[in-house]
Amino acid sequence: MDRRNFIRTATAASAAGILAPSTVLASSNNNMAGGLYLTKEQPGRWDKKVGGHLPAVEVAGKKVKVTTAHSMTDYNHYIVKHQILDKDFNFLAENMFDPKKDKAPVSEFDLGNYSGKVYVLSVCNKHDTWMNAASV
């Protein structure tokens, strides 16, 4: 490759590296469904695991209750944590679980003055991260 083509290619690759992340983040979050996180509609390779992994979300004012219908018997297979993200996928809160102490993966969050859409994540140590959404 001659010098001009090398510089042209390097410049294009550099620009793509800068622009691509913002393009991905600006696009619909559904582009990641079934891959980075799983949903009821996009369960990826775990289509038979939706019932025990999708977080159920109850909203009462500014309080959010998250429940995952999953057993908590030992460290072999359990829900590691629940997380709450804001409408822009920024971290708001999380609750970690210990399967030897926690009988069920249930979390309660008070979101203070936050209002709008929230994304709720339930992380299983074997079956990946599952997401549901609600409005507060």
pLDDT digits (tens, 9 = 90+) for 79-134: 999 999 999 999 999 999 999 999 999 999 999 999 999 999 999 999 999 999 99
Q: How far is CA 80 from CA 6, 7, 61, 98, in A?
A: 47, 47, 26, 7
- Segments making up each domain of the chain, as ranges: 1-28, 32-135
SS3 130: strand
Mean per-residue pLDDT over the chain, rounded: 83
Strand partners of residue 65: 58, 108
Q: Which tokens sit at 38?
A: 């799983």
Per-residue pLDDT tens for 76-94?
999 999 999 999 999 999 9
The H-assigned helical ranges of the chain are: 3-26, 50-53
pLDDT of residue 9: 54
Q: Say if residue 3's pLDDT is above 50.
A: yes
Question: What CATH number belongs to 32-135?
Answer: 2.60.40.730
Give strand ranges (E) for 20-124. 56-60, 63-67, 79-85, 91-96, 106-110, 117-124
Q: What is the pLDDT of residue 49?
A: 92
- Compute the distance between CA of residue 58 and CA of residue 43 in angstroms, rounded to an integer: 21
Task: In whole angstroms, give the CA distance from residue 6 to residue 10.
Answer: 6
**What are the two backbone dihedrals, phi and then psi, of residue 37, each rounded to the nearest 5 degrees?**
-140, 160
pTM of the model: 0.74
CA 84, CA 97: separation in Å to the nearest integer?
15
